[in-house]
Amino acid sequence: MARPRARRPWPVRLRSVAGQVFALQILVVLLLVIAAAVALVVQSRGDADQEARDHSVAVAQTFANAPGIVEALRSPDPTAVLQPRAEAARVASGVDFVVVLSDQGIRYTHPNPARIGQMFIGTFEPALHGKVVTERVNGTLGPLVQAVVPVYAPDGSVAGLVSAGITVKNVDTASERQLPVVLAVAAGAIALATLGTALITRRLRRQTHGLDPAEMTRMYEHHAAVLHAVREGVVIVAGDGRLLLCNDEARRLLDLPPDAEGRPVTELGLEPAPLELLTADRPVTDQVVPAGERLLAVNVRLTDQAGGPPGCVATLRDSTELLALSGRVETVQRRLRLLYDAGMTVGSTLDVTRTAEELAQVAVPRFADFVTVDLAEQVLTGEEPPPGGQLGRVRRTAFAGVREDAPFHPVGTVLDVVPATPLAGALDSGEPGLEPHLAEAEGWRRQDPEQSEQVLAYGVHSLLRVPLRARGVLLGVVRFWRAQRPEPFEAEDLVLAEELVAHAAVCVDNARRYTREHEMAVTLQHSLLPRSLPEQDALDVAYRYLPARAGVGGDWFDVIPLPGARVALVVGDVVGHGLHAAATMGRLRTAIHNFSTLDLPPDELLGHLDELVSRIDREEAAGEGFGPAGATCLYAIYDPVSRRCTMAGAGHPAPAVVDPQGHVEFAPVPTGPPLGLADLPFESVEVELAEGSRLVLFTDGLVADRTREVGAGLERLRTVLSGSARTPEQTCADLLGALLPAEPQDDIALLVARTRVLAPDHVAEWEVASDPAAVREVRAAVARRLEAWGLDEAAFVTELILSELVTNAIRYGSGPIRVRLLRDRALICEVSDGSSTSPHLRYAASEDEGGRGLFLVAQFADRWGTRYTATGKVIWTEQPLE
């Protein structure tokens, strides 16, 4: 039976030095491979993103510069021409999409034809000004990079836009192709390390059988050289307390005698603190103890932990200079942390007072015990500070301190700057000042001698004053005081204070400028909004308007009386905030008033308003404008005679209709595009409202904000409106109480109107035959009705007016001819016929036999006009009842 073959020992064992070296090599190689792989992955991601951007930009620019693009954009049907070319370019270039846009962001092409004609998702406005826009977005295909470039017409204008995009995962980078090479190199390195270690181990085993005395001596010499060369003291103490070994650094640090080795450590004259650590028979880690004029960091390790002889090994390190350096480093770190915190907290809002308070709070107690911030009064109101470098008067704007009973002037106090004082000098020159010892300084006391004595008696001993200056404008002064801290301010503290105040000064000036612009915008907006509601009997109206805290917006509302006792209700919202939005709102509101005098239906009026917004956009695009003046609007006309309300909307939320029983429905207003974007005519809807119904018109700021979607806001509005009947005023209060956000980010305009009905006995109607003889019958019937109403004095003028209007309708119009008399705030006469021809007022010559009738109507009536209907026209007049 054959004996089993003995297993050959593995040439490398981890217990041997060679094995440990081999393990270390493997570890180093693995770490390098991991680091290289991670670096390649990170670089691959960055390269993929950059490659995607470059590829998207190149494809978009190539397509934008292709021949015929401008002609296609200006053709009657750009999609028919550009869609096949865009798809061919997308397939050929390897991108995920090539989309051609109009200068308003509407898609002409798209890989998904269903998305053609929709608004482009992404940023494209800078491309309208000739810039190339690239951005990373999360699309339906995953993370992708898209680019938008302009298409230039021969005259240099931007005729359209081209966007190309590619998903990042489809980009093949060079870094990814290098990863297999790195792994292969790593495998080769591991194999070579294994082979080399095995060969070296075998050779050492053959050549080394032990250490001879010479090698031991050499090893000892090396050990002694290293021991005495290090800058760290080494002490070995035996279990019986004798000093076995100490190097030169230990002798110097502990001031040991030459014959210290072999003697008990208790007889070497050591300081109590290090002696206690060397004899305590316990481990110690980085414990700092005094030794004469030095501070020593001591580490002690016991030698009998792994079966060795009793005793300990101690290392000593001189940390005197290190401690002083650490203190300085810690001070610098604290100051840098203070500057960082100031940069993060000061200027968090565009409010002057709040910014000053943030500066005072961030410096107490980390830098000063008390901080006062005094600003020019003009700064608080957003105005320009007085010219020149000196401020004659400042107001205490902010104060912060470690205690509340400090004898400083309270916030709001107006301080007159006394000339020839250090404070006046600092404000005049703009240079900061340092008073390390206030008790020894005299000049600062002249500013307020009585308060200065109180400050000194309180214990304040040091002062820094730094003027607040930004963009060459002196805004005020900041003063830092110390009382509880014993150390006075130094020159380094002055540098830190200047940096703090410099950052705060820019924030205060930004807040001042914002305050000025905000006040201007608020003033402009309030001047453009209705200051009071007009008198009318068709609706009981209440309203609310709340500007956004972030800035003035372009929301507005209006109540406009119309002929025939009707009333128009308007609510609108201009895109954006600031002066531009407020000015645009004023232009649109004025335009609606002008269009309403023409007595146009809601859909036609919105059509004219859309043309106006488009013209505004073109004017601003031709110059240095503010961008598109987009707006939404809802226009409704209520007739108290028929109880019908006609409404049309342009991208605006539909109004809520609450019937007298408290049931809430949203009016079925056809959804139209916002003003300035309409390609098709607007549509209107007519609803009949019961007497006492409430019509609630609002802007989207009431139902939507950052934390609430529009759908949820509408449901909440429905819930609040449901229930028992309430007055319009109470309805407004309830809606704002339930729906108003804590910090409104958008304007809110709310209009609540409760319907009334003109009593039937205040309405009289007659149908008139197309016969001149019928005029006398109408006059008689009108006279009888006026007598029943107690308006006998108005009978003559009314008969004269109706005679002329009915005669004109019989002579120049067509049937049917009707006369309607309404008794409202005024006496309203209406004559309708089937003709759409409107009469024109003219001055008859002295020899003319006619042409004076309409002139007489205009003279006797307070107002008159023409209203067109679906079946003809209505000539109306109004006469005052008093």
Query: Tokens 């951005």 map to which residue?
Result: 135
Query: For residue 408, what pLDDT is reported?
Result: 92
Helix axes 795-812, 853-860, angle to 10 degrees: 140
Tokens of 130: 């000739």
Structural contact between residues 869 and 686, judged by C-beta atoms closer than 8 angstroms:
no
Sign of the C-alpha dihedral computed for residues 400, 406, 412 and 413 taken in this order = negative
The average confidence (pLDDT) of the chain is: 82
Q: Rounded CA gap, 827 and 795, in Å?
A: 11
Q: What would the pLDDT profile of 787-813 be if each residue is shown by its tens digit? A: 888 888 888 888 888 888 888 888 887
Q: What is the 3-state secondary structure (H, E, C) of 324-367?
A: HHHHHHHHHHHHHHHHHHHHHHCCCCCCHHHHHHHHHHHHCCCC
- Which whole-number Å values give the CA distances from 217 to 55, 347, 454, 513, in the listed order? 70, 72, 80, 83
Identify the residue with better confidence: 876 or 620: 876
**C-alpha closest to that of 650 among 616, 684, 696:** 684
Angle formed at CA 100 by CA 96 and CA 104, multiple of 5 degrees? 130
Between 170-174, 516-520, 817-821, 863-867, the lowest mean confidence (pLDDT) is in: 170-174
Q: Over 90: is that where the pLDDT of 849 sits?
A: no
Residue type at 737 in one-letter notation: G
Q: What would the pLDDT profile of 423-478 be if each residue is shown by its tens digit? A: 888 888 888 999 999 988 888 888 888 989 999 999 999 999 999 988 888 889 99
Structural contact between residues 391 and 377, judged by C-beta atoms closer than 8 angstroms:
no
Q: What would the pLDDT profile of 36-80 be if each residue is shown by its tens digit? A: 667 666 666 666 677 778 888 888 888 878 888 888 888 888 888
Residues comprising the chain, all counted: 882
**C-alpha closest to that of 501 among 475, 472, 462, 467:** 467
pLDDT tier, 26 (very low <50, low <70, confident <90, very high otherwise): confident
Identify the residue with better confidence: 10 or 623: 623
pLDDT tier, 2 (very low <50, low <70, confident <90, very high otherwise): very low
Query: For residue 172, what pLDDT is reported?
Result: 53
Identify the residue with better confidence: 137 or 370: 370
Query: For residue 1, what pLDDT is reported?
Result: 43
- Which whole-number Å values give the CA distances from 408 to 371, 377, 573, 715, in the listed order? 10, 19, 49, 54
Pairing state of beta strands 748-755 and 656-658?
A: unpaired
Q: Rounded CA gap, 345 and 359, in Å?
A: 8
Q: What would the pLDDT profile of 772-787 be if each residue is shown by its tens digit? A: 878 888 888 888 888 8
Angle formed at CA 334 by CA 331 and CA 335, multiple of 5 degrees? 90
Structural contact between residues 815 and 833, judged by C-beta atoms closer than 8 angstroms:
yes
pLDDT tier, 558 (very low <50, low <70, confident <90, very high otherwise): very high
pLDDT tier, 12 (very low <50, low <70, confident <90, very high otherwise): very low
Q: Over 60: is that where the pLDDT of 768 sits?
A: yes
Query: For residue 584, what pLDDT is reported?
Result: 83
Query: For residue 686, what pLDDT is reported?
Result: 93
Residue type at 389 in one-letter notation: G
Q: Exposed, middle or buried by CB within 10 Å (0-12, 13-18, 19+), for 820?
A: middle
Query: For residue 6, what pLDDT is reported?
Result: 44
Structural contact between residues 320 and 299, judged by C-beta atoms closer than 8 angstroms:
no
Residue 705's φ and ψ, nearest 5 degrees, are: -155, -165
> Going by C-beta distance under 8 Å and a sequence separation of 6 or more, which residues neighbour residue 798?
782, 786, 791, 821, 827, 829, 879
Query: For residue 833, what pLDDT is reported?
Result: 87
For every residue of 486-528, DSSP letters joined together read: SSPP-HHHHHHHHHHHHHHHHHHHHHHHHHHHHHHHHHHHHHH
HSE (CB half, 13 Å, CA atoms) of 540?
Answer: 16
Q: Mark 70-98 as b/e (b = at least 16 C-beta within 10 Å).
A: bebbeeeebbebbbebbbebbeebebbbb
- Which whole-number Å values give the CA distances from 98 to 52, 138, 317, 766, 786, in the listed order? 14, 17, 70, 67, 74
Structural contact between residues 346 and 354, judged by C-beta atoms closer than 8 angstroms:
no
Task: Please name the residue ranges forming H helices in 346-438.
Answer: 352-363, 377-380, 422-429
Chain-centre distance for alpha carbon 544: 26
Q: Which helix (H) or strand (E) holds 233?
A: strand 233-238
Task: Please name the residue ranges forming H helices in 558-598.
Answer: 579-597
Q: Rounded CA gap, 363 and 684, in Å?
A: 62
Q: Over 90: is that where the pLDDT of 143 sits?
A: no
pLDDT tier, 190 (very low <50, low <70, confident <90, very high otherwise): confident
Beta bridge partners of 167: 144
Kindly state the average pLDDT of the residues 472-501.
Answer: 90
Q: Which helix (H) or strand (E) holds 139?
A: strand 133-139
Q: Rounded CA gap, 771 and 793, in Å?
A: 28
pLDDT tier, 209 (very low <50, low <70, confident <90, very high otherwise): very low
For the chain, give the percent of residues with pLDDT over 70: 84
Q: What would the pLDDT profile of 366-396 be if each residue is shown by its tens digit? A: 899 999 999 988 888 888 887 655 677 889 9
Between 19-33, 100-114, 266-280, 643-657, the lowest mean confidence (pLDDT) is in: 19-33
Query: Tokens 């790593």 map to which residue?
Result: 186
Q: Over 90: is that where the pLDDT of 602 sits?
A: yes
Q: Rounded CA gap, 378 and 881, in Å?
A: 53
Q: Rounded CA gap, 794 and 788, in Å?
A: 12
Q: Over 80: is that where the pLDDT of 744 sits?
A: no
For the chain, give the percent of residues with pLDDT over 90: 20
Tokens of 270: 């050591």
Q: What would the pLDDT profile of 527-544 be if each residue is shown by its tens digit? A: 677 777 888 888 999 999
